Amino acid sequence: MKTLNLSGKLNRFLSQRAMALISAAAVLVSLMAATGWANALYILTGTEDGTVVLDGVSPAPDLSTKLIYLTTSSTGYDVTLSSGKMVTICRKGAVTNARSRSETISALLDRLHITLDPEEMVAVDLSSPTGVTLAIGDELTYEDTVTEAVTAATVRVPTATLPKGTERVAQVGQDGIRVCRYRYRWSGGQLVSQELLEEVSNTAQNRIVEYGTTVTSVDSGDELVNVVTREDGSGTLYFASGATMNFSGTKSMTATAYNKNEPKVGTITATGTKVRAGVAAVDKRVIPLGTRLYVTNTGADYGYAVAEDTGVRGNIIDLYHEVYSEVSSFGRRSCTVYILE
């Protein structure tokens, strides 16, 4: 039988034919009866200060996958404990204490007349410098810290500094290593759940892709949900759809309403366009014609508008309404006019 001798001395001179360091990760053992391996399963934890020596094994198996097989036949690997180790065995509610005799765990269990059921597993905790704990059962739960490679994830982030439909890479990203603490649950020789409890550290950097949200106009039903204003008076309007519009400044004005059916109101604006919802009449000395606007007012926001008409003087904005009856109900009200970029 091939054996694994565990020692707490990192500087021990080891056989050149077989040596492997085991990290603080759990060593999970998947045994297959079809190949002659036993049905028992070893789960090793707490081996960060130990070394593993495979006596008489050539070539040495690759332990990078952290799979160690337990067997009672002539194939596979077993674990040898150094002499004098205090071993605590917990099984079916009973606790048994014994001293190891430089023997394999299989031999120790045989000496104590402990026979494993077909689906029972042995969790071997080597974290204590004074002893070893064996937990035996067909349902095992334990926690362990694992070091694992991480592939950089791609994170998409909206930005109001780019037009909608465009994107840019803000951070290239790189793969790394992370240390995590997991809770494992095994049942009947199979891993049934693995729960991440804590990410202790992570050297990976996400690839960050910014995608543009800025539009030149929004639908009338798109609700304004937030306004961010910078110190210089410029800022960004955020809408329920995810769209954004940037503004260079704001004006506090008095809003009125007009309709083509009113006296002296025609169907063509001062700029030659047809009157319609979204047209604003302004004093061009206050707001230049052609300026794109977003108007919020008490009661209900008028929304997106373009300064295409005239007929008012001073700090007044006249907002076109398709329905004539809405003109009188609108009246005069205070409003905030955002000058869109």
Mean pLDDT computed over 33-38: 28
**DSSP 8-state code for residue 299:** S
Q: Which domain holds residue 24?
A: 2-137
Identify whether residues 82 and 160 lie together within a single domain: no
Identify whether residues 83 and 192 lie together within a single domain: no
Are 115 and 145 within 8 A, CB to CB? no
List, for residues 95-127, the tens digit of each pLDDT value: 999 998 988 788 888 899 988 777 777 777 777
Identify whether residues 41 and 64 lie together within a single domain: yes
Q: How far is CA 220 from CA 2, 141, 223, in A?
A: 77, 57, 8
CATH number for position 264:
2.40.40.10
253: pLDDT strictly greater than 80: yes
Contacts of 68 (CB under 8 A, 6+ apart): 4, 27, 29, 42, 44, 77, 79
Identify whether residues 187 and 235 lie together within a single domain: no
Of the chain, the percentage scoring pLDDT greater than 70 comes to 75
194, 212, 230 - which closes a domain: 212
Mean pLDDT computed over 27-42: 32
53 vs 129, more confident = 129
